[in-house]
Structure 1
Amino acid sequence: YYNAIMACGLDSQDALEIFRLCIYDKQFIDTATLKDSQMQLKGRAASGVVFVANAALSVASITGDMSVVSEVITDLSSIGAKMNSESIRHIVRALGNIGDCEMILALLICLRGQDFANDLM
Structure 2
Amino acid sequence: MARLENCALARAIEGQERPLVSRGEIIATWRQHNEALVMFLPRQRRSARYPAGLRDGGNLKPGNTMYETLKKEILAEAYGEFAANEDEIIASINAKLDLMIARKIAAGQFFD
TM over 0.5: no
Indicate the structure with greater helix content.
Answer: 1
Length-normalised TM-score, structure 1: 0.28
TM-score, L = length of structure 2: 0.30
Structure with max Cα Rg: 2
